[in-house]
Structure formats: structure tokens, C-alpha cells
């Protein structure tokens, strides 16, 4: 299926490069279990191909691409190898963006370059047991130590994707001393390195898509002042960066849904029942047509939302609209693909099943569908998005 938006020659070349590389080096193993050694080797291959830190500055090892161009690469990779698309997202268009937007040159040399070279991995630590959708209710605190050279971090985080392998955690925390009654105002972010004393991974859970999600503990964890990206007064600014994460998440969903549609299309043209191809049954043709229509609309919505303004920022309204529409639609398309495959689609190893389980998560992480609807509603009603009981 063609693109809903006219892409430039360069953008088409990026997509072709990703597709060729993925078909040659990744696709065969994309849905098979992977050892830690295989994972590390795959990350290095992605780095050699220039697919990590694609939007990061060239002088710190990145690709210097526009956000939109890099997202096209993530979407394309998700068609062939969802796990690699996720690495490109975390260590590039999503979480790693915090480093290149907020990090000093020294911080970027220390962490961004190794990430771009596939020697380091990052994760984002925002959610807490009592602060999920209500992220501004987080209670993890970063208190300046008496020596003034470090911060003492206390608290805990849950559901942290990639925590099992991450070397650094972009950690959101409240700066200052409790009590805090300032909504999100005291929230800032710092980098916690995996081997920091007082930092531990309490457990690694597995989600519906068999991805690991870690629970973190900061127990008088002493973090050098050097690691601070922004020391409070920055929630709005952080969320604007986090918006990159949000669209990068749904770009993966779109790539996976498109792949499931293409698999279903092929299956319908080869599988025969009642002496005919499945593609001969009009009810199934209409399902396929709906999938094509919905994917087309997703692509147009996402590509529009990816356009940054003159200030380099994404429009939050476009982000929330795209997040809701693309995530929900892609879940539906993946579900229809399973239906078209029948029992074959429901088997554990089947790619359409594995993609469905991954895509389902995009309707939850980066803000649930309800939370993004709240944000859209606040904008269209011209009200503040304040969900707290008064
Ligand atoms: C696959 C996956 C990966 C993730 N990765 C990370 C990660 O790397 N780092 C990280 O920090 N977190 C991560 N998360 C956590 C994720 O951000 C949270 O799960 C999400 O923000 C929702 O929070 P919660 O689970 O506490 O649900 P809750 O906030 O308890 O919400 C439960 C339900 O209530 C609804 N709800 C809550 N408040 C409102 C309201 N005001 N109006 C309407 N509905 C409401 C929600 O939409 C949801 O349906 C991940 C989650 C998933 C599923």
C-alpha cells in the first residue's frame, strides 16, 4: 500500500534502507526468542547501520535527522522487526531525546554517544505505583545533599520498559524537600546509572507481549549533580519532550499493523476454503478494505502530528489526537488480521498474534487513551486539564 502523504526521495531512500537491512539481517529471527548475547549483537548491528540516535546531533554520534524522517525509519522497522523498532525508539526518537534536548555537551558525550554506538541503553522511569495517569502525583524526591555536589534520590518506579538491560535511566523526580503541594512544578529529571549505590531493580516482570518491565527502587541513592538534566520547574518542558516518545510509540504500532494487514492480504490470496480463495468472499474483502482505509487514515494523522513547528516543538493537541486515533485503530487492524488468519493467527508463534500483543500496549503507555481524550477535551472546551477533585 502506498503512502497517504507524499514522501521526498530522501525519505523514500531512508525507508528502503531500513527495509533492505531488516530483511537481510533481522526479519528471520524477529519473532523468535533471543538470548542476551543475541540482543547485544543486534543492538550493535542497529548502531552500525546508523539506526540508533537518528535524531541526535551528529557531533555527539547521532544521525542528525529530522524527527519525521527518523519516525519513518521506526515505522518501517516495525514492519519487519518490532523489537528493533523498539530499540530505535528508546535509544533514539523517544527516551534518548531527553539527552539531546536537555543534556549539556558533556552529558551528551558521556551518555548519548555510547547510546548511538549501541554500547549503552536507556530507559525512562516516570510511573510510580501511586502515580500512573496522575503522573504529577509522583513522590520520588531528589534532595540536594549538604555538599551541594550531589542529589539524594528516594522513591520507586514501576513498569519500566527495557529496565532489564538499561545502563541509564532518565528518571523523573521532585526536586527540593517535602511537603510538595505544587502539582507538577517541582518535577525535573536526572540520569541514574545502573551501578549507582542505593539504586536497585526490585523485579523484572513480563507483560502481555513478553517484554520486560522493571520495578526500580531508589534508597538514598546518591546521584552526582552532573547527572541532572533539569532540576525542577520543568514538567511542561519534559512532557513536550515526552511527546516525541508518544508519537514514536504509535509509529511502531502503525508499522506492525501495516505488516499484519499485508500478511492477511497474502493469506487471503493463498488460503482456500469451500473450494475458493478467502479473497473471493465479499465479507472478507470488506474487512481488508476497512483495514486499508484505516491504515491510510492513521498514516495521514501520524505524519501530520510529526511535523514540528519553527521552535522545533510538536503540537500537543496533534500528538494527543494522533496517539488516540492511531493506537486504537492499529489495535483494531491487528485484531482483524488475527480473525482473517483464523486458528493460525491465534497460535503463540504467529506474527499477527505477537504484533497484536505489542500494539495493545500503545493504548496504555505514553498516556492512556482516556488521558489523551481528557487533553483533547480540555483544548476543545478551552479549559484547563485538571482532573483533581476540588
Ligand atoms: C507496555 C507498557 C510499557 C510501559 N513502559 C513504561 C516506561 O518505560 N516507563 C514508565 O515510566 N512507565 C511505563 N509504563 C507505564 C504507563 O505509562 C502507565 O501504565 C500508564 O501511564 C497508566 O498508568 P496506570 O497503569 O497506573 O493506570 P491508572 O492511572 O491506574 O489508570 C487505570 C485506568 O483508569 C483510567 N483513568 C485514570 N485517570 C483517569 C481520568 N482522570 N479520566 C479518565 N480515565 C482515567 C486510565 O485511562 C486507565 O484506563 C508502561 C506501560 C505499559 C503498558
pLDDT of residue 176: 85
Q: How far separated are the first and last CA of the chain, in Å rounded?
A: 50
Task: Give the separation between CA 354 and CA 306, rounded to whole angstroms.
Answer: 26
pLDDT along the chain (390 residues), means of 10: 79 98 98 95 97 96 96 98 98 95 96 97 98 95 94 98 96 87 88 98 96 97 97 91 96 98 98 98 98 98 94 94 98 98 97 98 97 97 84
Query: Ligand 1 centroid to 128 CA: how many Å?
Result: 10
Q: At 387, is the secondary structure helix, strand, or coil?
A: coil
**Of 75, 63, 65, nearest to 19 (Cα)?**
75
According to DSSP, the β-strands at 212-224 and 150-161 are antiparallel
Task: Give the separation between CA 286 and CA 234, rounded to whole angstroms.
Answer: 48
C-alpha cell at 156: 520507586
- Is 132 a pocket residue for ligand 1 (Cβ < 6 Å)? yes
Q: Could you tell me the pTM of the whole model? A: 0.96
156 alpha carbon, distance to own chain's centre: 21
According to DSSP, the β-strands at 228-230 and 276-277 are unpaired
- Is 364 a pocket residue for ligand 1 (Cβ < 6 Å)? yes
- Best mutation site among 121, 130, 364 for ligand 1 pocket (most ligand atoms within 8 Å of CB): 364
Task: Give the separation between CA 295 and CA 33, rounded to whole angstroms.
Answer: 29
- Is 133 a pocket residue for ligand 1 (Cβ < 6 Å)? yes
Domains detected in the chain? 9-116 (1.10.540.10), 122-233 (2.40.110.10), 236-381 (1.20.140.10)
Query: Ligand 1 centroid to 125 CA: how many Å?
Result: 13
Task: Give the separation between CA 163 and CA 124, rounded to whole angstroms.
Answer: 9
Amino acid at each position: 500500500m502506498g503512502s497517504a502523504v507524499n514522501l521526498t526521495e530522501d525519505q523514500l531512500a531512508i525507508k528502503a534502507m531500513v527495509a533492505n537491512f531488516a530483511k537481510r539481517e533481522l526479519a528471520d529471527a524477529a519473532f523468535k526468542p533471543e538470548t542476551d548475547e543475541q540482543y547485544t549483537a543486534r543492538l550493535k548491528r542497529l548502531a552500525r547501520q546508523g539506526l540508533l540516535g537518528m535524531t541526535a546531533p551528529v557531533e555527539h554520534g547521532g544521525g542528525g535527522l529530522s524527527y519525521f524522517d527518523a519516525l519513518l525509519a521506526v515505522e518501517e522497522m516495525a514492519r519487519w522487526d518490532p523489537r528493533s523498532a523498539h530499540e530505535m525508539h528508546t535509544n533514539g526518537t523517544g527516551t534518548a531525546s531527553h539527552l539531546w534536548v536537555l543534556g549539556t555537551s558533556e552529558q551528551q558525550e558521556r551518555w548519548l554517544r555510547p547510546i548511538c554506538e549501541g554500547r549503552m541503553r536507556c530507559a525512562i522511569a516516570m510511573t510510580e505505583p501511586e502515580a500512573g495517569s496522575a503522573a504529577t502525583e509522583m513522590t520520588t524526591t531528589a534532595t540536594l545533599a549538604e555538599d551541594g555536589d550531589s542529589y539524594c534520590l528516594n522513591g520507586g518506579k514501576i513498569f519500566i520498559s527495557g529496565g532489564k538491560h538499561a545502563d541509564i535511566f532518565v528518571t523523573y523526580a521532585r526536586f527540593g524537600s517535602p511537603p510538595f503541594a505544587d502539582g507538577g512544578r517541582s518535577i525535573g529529571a536526572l540520569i541514574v546509572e545502573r551501578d549507582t549505590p542505593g539504586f536497585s531493580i526490585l523485579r523484572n516482570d513480563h507483560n502481555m507481549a513478553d517484554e520486560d518491565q522493571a520495578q526500580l527502587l531508589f534508597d538514598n541513592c546518591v546521584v552526582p549533580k552532573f547527572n541532572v538534566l533539569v532540576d525542577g520547574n520543568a514538567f511542561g518542558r519534559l512532557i513536550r519532550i515526552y511527546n516525541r516518545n508518544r508519537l514514536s510509540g504509535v509509529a511502531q504500532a502503525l508499522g506492525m499493523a501495516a505488516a499484519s494487514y499485508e500478511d492477511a492480504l497474502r493469506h487471503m490470496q493463498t488460503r482456500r476454503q469451500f473450494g475458493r480463495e478467502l479473497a473471493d468472499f465479499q465479507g472478507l474483502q470488506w474487512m481488508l478494505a476497512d483495514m486499508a482505509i484505516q491504515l491510510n487514515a492513521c498514516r495521514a494523522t501520524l505524519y501530520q502530528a510529526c511535523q514540528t513547528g519553527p521552535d522545533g516543538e510538536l503540537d500537543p493537541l496533534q500528538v494527543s489526537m494522533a496517539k488516540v486515533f492511531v493506537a486504537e485503530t492499529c489495535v483494531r487492524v491487528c485484531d482483524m488480521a488475527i480473525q482473517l488468519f483464523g486458528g493460525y493467527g491465534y497460535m503463540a508463534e504467529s506474527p499477527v498474534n505477537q504484533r497484536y500483543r505489542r500494539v495493545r500496549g500503545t493504548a496504555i503507555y505514553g498516556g492512556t487513551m482516556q488521558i489523551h481524550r481528557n487533553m483533547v477535551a480540555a483544548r476543545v472546551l478551552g479549559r484547563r486539564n485538571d482532573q483533581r477533585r476540588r
